[in-house]
Amino acid sequence: MITRDIIIHDILIPSLKRLYQMDYDNIRFRASERNICARLAHHMENIMREYDCSNNSYYFCNYYADVEYNRMGNGDLKRYKNSEHRPQYMVSDLVIHSRGYERNYLAVEMKRKGNYRKAKDDRERLASMVSPAPHGMHDRCVHDTLVGAFIIYGVEGVKIELFENVNGRGENTETFEIFQ
């Protein structure tokens, strides 16, 4: 069974380290956030396949790391609940998901250090995505994502804020840094 520790310690952190090893010039020369997300997704998908191979597992065989994915399993536009509890259209910077109806493993929102435009909205979106679905209701929003990660990256390293379901609410549960 997939756990938060597998997602964080075996997929997310190694992917970020590989990003800094292989694509540091993109970060150093301030390539677009979209480029950095795409490179991170590339490394994540490779590490997911490597994980399954080395652990003789199939956890990730039907999962993908997609950048700016905006669809639900049935093709509907992806939505989250904003602070007023109203559904809002969304595009995730990066998501590890099945492209179907299975639970999302990871949702990522990224910002270059110093660019905090809409950071509050990104954090709100992650909190909504990891929160459970309302009981007995289908509100056509993304819920129950295993882990959310708000990532601030720069030439000196990465700061990660994790979001998880805590007592029925999406909350920031841990913050840590990985230095270059």
Render the burial of 85-121: b for 16+ CB within 10 Å, e for the rest.
Answer: eeebebebbbbbbeeeeeebbbbbbbbbeeeeeeeee
pLDDT at 94 over 80: yes
pLDDT at 88 over 80: no
The answer to whether 55 and 2 are in contact (CB under 8 A) is no
Q: Report pLDDT for 99.
A: 80
The tokens for 13 are: 């952190």
In the predicted model, what is the mean pLDDT of residues 126-143?
73
Q: Report pLDDT for 48.
A: 98
Q: Report pLDDT for 125.
A: 86
Q: Report pLDDT for 103.
A: 84
What is the pTM (predicted TM-score) of this model? 0.89
Where residue 144 falls among pLDDT bands split at 50, 70, 90? confident
In the predicted model, what is the mean pLDDT of residues 115-133?
86
Say how far apart CA 156 and CA 86 lie, in whole Å: 38
Where residue 167 falls among pLDDT bands split at 50, 70, 90? confident
Q: Report pLDDT for 139.
A: 61
Sign of the Cα torsion 67, 71, 72, 78 reads positive
Say how far apart CA 15 and CA 159 lie, in whole Å: 14
The gap from C-alpha 157 to its chain's centroid, in whole angstroms, comes to 18
Rounded to 5 degrees, φ, ψ at 101 are: -105, -5
| CA end-to-end distance (rounded Å), the chain | 31
Which of 73-87, 90-104, 119-133 has the weakest average pLDDT? 73-87
Say how far apart CA 175 and CA 160 lie, in whole Å: 6
Rounded to 5 degrees, φ, ψ at 43 are: -65, -40
Higher pLDDT, 41 or 132: 41
pLDDT at 155 over 90: yes
**pLDDT averaged over every residue in the chain:** 88
pLDDT at 45 over 70: yes
Q: Report pLDDT for 136.
A: 54
pLDDT at 170 over 90: no
